[in-house]
């Protein structure tokens, strides 16, 4: 009887060892929410009345932000603005705008205009696109210039605000995916 029991005991022990070694550790952390890789930001402005369209791109592919041309705006004018973002390190260049739009409940573009010393230029940005919770995103907006002329910088910051960080009013919460400043000229 002892001989009949030994093979069963061996199979039982081997099965236990395999079962315990095959179990997955459920306490392992999951993958982190990765930041987008964005190496170029383009802002395209179209006046709502008559006037000239303007567009500028800042590339950070080399590590230093390089703007291809200043944004030249007319005073007292309203523009429809569209921002696009790409990853130029990929071949072909990857359109990151679609990913931001798909994750719009986790992203917010923040705009700040700062006039140069002695400049009378003013530029305001009103975000027009919203996420599923009716909070601003910022890929689409209305840009309005005041009556003054001069130069300044339009800072564009893309905040990644996952996990309930996005409130629509908190512009500092979350990780910064992009932080660039466009040279702006407001002239007649």
Q: pLDDT digit string (tens) for 35-67?
A: 679 999 999 999 998 889 999 999 999 999 999
Query: Residue 109 in contact with residue 143, Cβ under 8 Å?
Result: no
Query: What is the structure's pLDDT at 173?
Result: 94
- pLDDT under 50: residue ranges of the chain: 1, 5, 8-14, 16-31
The pTM of this model reads 0.81
Residue 135 within a domain: yes
Query: What is the structure's pLDDT at 7?
Result: 52
Instruction: Identify the domain containing residue 125 by its residue range.
Output: 37-186
Residue 143 within a domain: yes
Q: How many domains in the chain?
A: 1
Residue 19 within a domain: no
Query: What is the structure's pLDDT at 49?
Result: 86
CA distances from 100 to 38, 73, 104 (A): 11, 27, 6
Residue 53 within a domain: yes
Question: Backbone phi, then psi, for 142, in 5-degree steps?
Answer: -115, 125
Query: Residue 180 in contact with residue 41, Cβ under 8 Å?
Result: yes
| Residue 9, both tokens | 């005991």
Query: What is the structure's pLDDT at 50?
Result: 85
């Amino acid at each position: 009887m002892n001989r009949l029991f030994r093979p069963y005991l061996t199979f039982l022990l081997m099965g236990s060892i395999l079962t315990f070694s095959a179990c997955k550790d459920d306490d392992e952390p999951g993958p982190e929410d990765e930041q987008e890789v964005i190496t170029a930001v383009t802002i395209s402005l179209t006046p709502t009345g008559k006037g000239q369209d303007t567009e500028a791109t800042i590339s950070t592919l080399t590590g230093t932000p390089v703007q291809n041309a200043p944004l030249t705006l007319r005073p007292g004018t309203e523009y429809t603005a569209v921002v696009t973002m790409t990853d130029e390190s990929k071949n072909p260049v990857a359109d990151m705008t679609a990913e931001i739009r798909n994750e719009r409940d986790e992203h917010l573009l923040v705009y700040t205009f700062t006039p140069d010393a002695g400049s009378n230029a003013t530029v305001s940005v009103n975000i027009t696109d919203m996420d599923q919770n009716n909070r601003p995103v910022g890929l689409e907006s209305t840009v309005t210039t005041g009556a003054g002329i001069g130069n300044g910088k339009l800072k564009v910051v893309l905040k990644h605000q996952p996990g309930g960080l996005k409130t629509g009013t908190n512009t500092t919460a979350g990780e910064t995916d992009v932080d660039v400043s466009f040279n702006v000229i407001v002239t007649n």
